[in-house]
Amino acid sequence: MERNRDTEPSGKDDLFWSSEAARLAANEDEEEIALRVLRGVRRIELGSRRLVQDIFGGEYHSAFKGLGIEFSEVREYVPGDDVRTIDRNVSARMQNPFVKVFHEERELSVVFLVDQSASTRFGSKDRSRAEVQAELVATLAFSAIANGDKVGCCLVTDRVEKWVPPGKGRSHVLRVVREVLFGRPAGRKTSLAEGLELIARIQKRRSIVFVVSDFLDHGYETALAVAARRHDLIPLVLIDPAERELPNVGLVEVEDLETGVRRLVDTSDRATREAHAARFHQRLEVELPDSMRRAGVQPVLLPMDGDYIQPLHRYFQRRIRRRAEGR
């Protein structure tokens, strides 16, 4: 999609994260953007316990299966125990029935594949996609470590920009958030296939993979299907309200941030606005669902002008119901 360069937020060059604050560039616009993002992440960090407990309410743990079931211990049989779990050897030695106790091997690896192409710098409201991505990754990452899981990330443009292997702990999550916030990508275009292929190749054990992107890309379908067969893959699709309809603001110059191509668009022309809306509907309601369905995954649509927590909440609830039904 083409972008209005007058509304494009500035870049974040020469920024880096520390435990106390971020060193900000001299440019006032960059400074305001960075401070706003840092406040948002700090708010998420401070409120992560509330987010996990009050909003998700243990749903993250319930929604994602562990890697398997492993033996834990034996204990004395009590009425109501499944007789199929009786350990005959121990029971014979102890002259009393004992049962085997198993527990789910819980530890999982959660990997965020984050689109850092130039289109993520766009935001028609008060935040760019990059800022929303950072908050979204922080929220899910804090939920993951609260459940004892590992967190990693892969940043991608038209190439893999950064790979952070899964690790544990708050400091590791802050590193992941730092990379999402203040990475300085070399590429401008999008190739989700590059990141998907890397994750499919590197992550040998089955992992949870959140793909965070606007999915303004093509040619990723095969890589998406392959990665989805190996991992539990969840596409998180960020939707800017400007993609739904063009505002009637007259003649504007727009720029494709990924190619640099500019052109004049007459937004006062009704046919132009209707063609834009029709293209959005075609992509979001037809092309994207078809690609996801062929890959065997269910996308989560996250509107940037609304509360992204509620779509995630509904998604987790659906997963919990399917898991309870054995699907």
Encode burial over 148-166: b for 16+ CB neighbours within 10 A, e otherwise. ebbbbbbbbbbebbbbbeb
Which of left, alpha, beta for 326 (phi over 0: left; psi -120 to 50: alpha)? left
The yes-or-no verdict on residue 105 having pLDDT over 80 is no
pTM for this prediction: 0.72
Place of tokens 């935040």: 127
Per-residue pLDDT for 44 more than 70? no
Both structure tokens of 184: 């300085």
Q: What local confidence, expressed as pLDDT, does residue 162 receive? A: 93
Please give the pLDDT value at position 142: 83
Q: What is the mean pLDDT of residues 65-74?
A: 58
pLDDT band at 220 (very low <50, low <70, confident <90, very high): very high
**Tell me, what's the pLDDT at 327?**
58
**Residue 315 pLDDT greater than 60, yes or no:** yes
Q: Helix or strand or coil: residue 113? A: strand
Confidence band for 194, pLDDT divided at 50, 70 and 90: very high
pLDDT band at 228; cut points 50, 70, 90: very high
The residues facing 109 across adjacent strands are 150
> Would you say residue 326 has pLDDT above 50?
yes
Higher pLDDT, residue 318 or 231:
231
Domain ranges of the chain: 3-63+106-324, 68-105
Q: Is the dihedral of CA 43, 118, 302, 56 positive or negative?
A: negative
d(CA 233, CA 210): 6
The tens digit of pLDDT for each residue in 146-193 reads 778 899 999 999 999 999 999 998 889 888 988 888 778 889 899 999
- Written as six digits, the tokens of 114 are 């984050």
Hey, is 326 helix, strand or coil?
A: coil
Contacts of 312 (CB under 8 A, 6+ apart): 56, 140, 300, 302
**Average of per-residue pLDDT across 46-70:** 54
Yes or no: domain 3-63+106-324 corresponds to CATH 3.90.45.10? no
Helix/strand/coil (H, E, C) string of 19-56? CCCEECCCCHHHHHHHHHHHHHHHHHHHHHHHHHHHHH
- Those residues with Cβ within 8 angstroms of residue 151's Cβ, 6 or more apart along the chain or in another chain: 109, 110, 111, 112, 141, 144, 145, 166, 167, 168, 172, 173, 176
- Residue-wise pLDDT for 273-303, tens only, equals 899 889 888 988 899 999 999 999 999 999 8
